[in-house]
Amino acid sequence: MRPVHRRDAAWAAVALAAVLAAGPASASPQDLFGYGPRSVAMGATGASYGDDFGAVYGNPAGLSRMRTASLTVGLAGTAFWLRRDGAPFSADPSAATLIGLGLPIPFGGALRGRVSLGLGFFTPTDVVVRGRIVRATTPQFVILPDRVQTVALQIGLGVALPWGLRIGGGVMAMAGLTGTVLVAADATGRATSRIDDQLVATYAAVVGVQWERGPWRLGLTYRGPLVARFLVTIEARDLGINLPIFNISGVAQYDPAQLQFEAAWQHRGWTVALGVTGKRWSDYPGPASATTDNSPQPPDPSFGDTLVPRAGLERRWDFAGGTHVAVRGGYFFEPSPAPSATPSRAYMDNDRHVFTAGLGLGATAARTRFTVDLFAQAHWLAPRDAVASSGTLSHGGALLHMGTSASVTF
């Protein structure tokens, strides 16, 4: 607790609460890029063929293909080149660590070799979760910049059944924030402030099924909506000025409910995957809430549902001695769920063409397999024009996501 000037404390509370509300509709990095080096490099596919720790997000049913334990660590970074009206638009670059674990469960009998567990972490190096508070009429990219600025955790379990069927389920988690700011007079009459906040976890289910016959693979994955909220309550007491209780609240990170269907063909080192993901963005509640009971409600975001087509390709060569080389590529088209900017909400977002690529190198020594993967995605934002309160608004740009990981299988 620290002393502050009474009038300054009161007006500070007013100023903070007066910043009404349009934090970005940021979502998790796995929703933006896919999860796991192989999936990221292959157009964020994997619902039909995934067989490593990345299946905790792509399709937990694929975890049942793992026969040996594995550990993966990696680094990833994202850089933005966003533009508004022809001028650069500031967006912080990000860096994150990637950790994955695959663990077959050593059951006996009918379950022998049929059940595996997977864990996945994506951890930014400098934040736990980021949510910004910006006026709805201020031009802002609502989907992209903060999506990579959150801790994400996935855990899943896969089970192999007869007749080529596999099923799986798991949980995704992100961090949210709640807190209070109390400005009050103490026993001596001095104004003091106290801040108390805490991180809270939010969860969503992910379930999937796979079916395989010969070289063909089919996969279906459902992911529930993942909503990381922030709520900070500001209250002023005994300061000689009557102030209402202010609520700075909204959605810091949001993943819509989604259903991904995919088909793949695997034969003699080739993997070809085609799929589509439906995202229910129309349920997005909006980035912020009213500041007080008498404040106007923020504008309806009016987001729409989207369909994301995906394609992935891999060619793998296996050599004597347990070495391999895999070359990967892919593409997906992510239509924007946000309507064009208007005078009441200057939300900027663009359709994105995403080109992906990757390289995998592996070797075996002393019955232990070592693998190094490189992966990259280039997102090109199709230019878009709109009419906002400041006049005609044009926006576009690009982003680049790159990373590397090392795995050991034993």
pTM: 0.86
pLDDT of residue 130: 56
Q: Check whether 409 has a pLDDT greater than 50.
A: yes
Residue 44 in tokens: 């964020």
Average pLDDT, the chain: 85
Residue 132: per-residue pLDDT: 60
Strand partners for 106: none
CATH 3.40.50.12280 fits 2-409, yes or no: no
* 217, pLDDT greater than 90: yes
Q: Which of 61-65, 67-71, 180-184, 354-358 has the lowest mean pLDDT?
A: 180-184
pLDDT attached to residue 36: 95
Helix (H, G, I), strand (E, B) or coil at 105: coil
pLDDT for res 25:
47
**pLDDT on residue 1:** 40
- More confident of the two residues 181 and 94: 94
Closest C-alpha to 361, from 408, 315, 328, 325: 325
> pLDDT: is 85 or 290 the higher one?
85
Neighbours of 1 (CB within 10 A): 9
Does 318 score more than 90 pLDDT?
yes
What are the DSSP E strand ranges found in 38-150?
70-84, 87-89, 94-104, 115-124, 140-141
pLDDT above 90 (res 136): no
Which DSSP category does 286 fall into?
-
Give the mean pLDDT of 294-314: 87
Please state which of the ranges 69-78, 104-113, 226-235, 293-302 shows the lowest mean pLDDT. 293-302
Percentages of the chain per state (helix, strand, coil), in multiples of 5: 10, 55, 35
Residue located via tokens 């379950």: 111
In this predicted structure, the answer to whether residue 368 has a pLDDT above a threshold of 60 is yes
pLDDT, mean of residues 8-37: 59
Tell me the average pLDDT across 29-52.
95
Task: Tell me the HSE value of 61 on the side-chain side, using a 13 A CA sphere.
Answer: 23
| Residue-range domain boundaries for the chain | 2-409
- Which token pair is 172? 């995704």
**Which whole number is the average pLDDT over 314-319?**
97
pLDDT > 90: percent of the chain: 55
Alpha-carbon distance of 214 to 267, in angstroms, equals 9
Res. 123: pLDDT tops 50: yes
Supply the pLDDT for residue 333: 98
| Choice between 32 and 26, residue whose per-residue pLDDT is larger | 32
Residue 289: the pLDDT is 66
pLDDT at 290 over 70: no
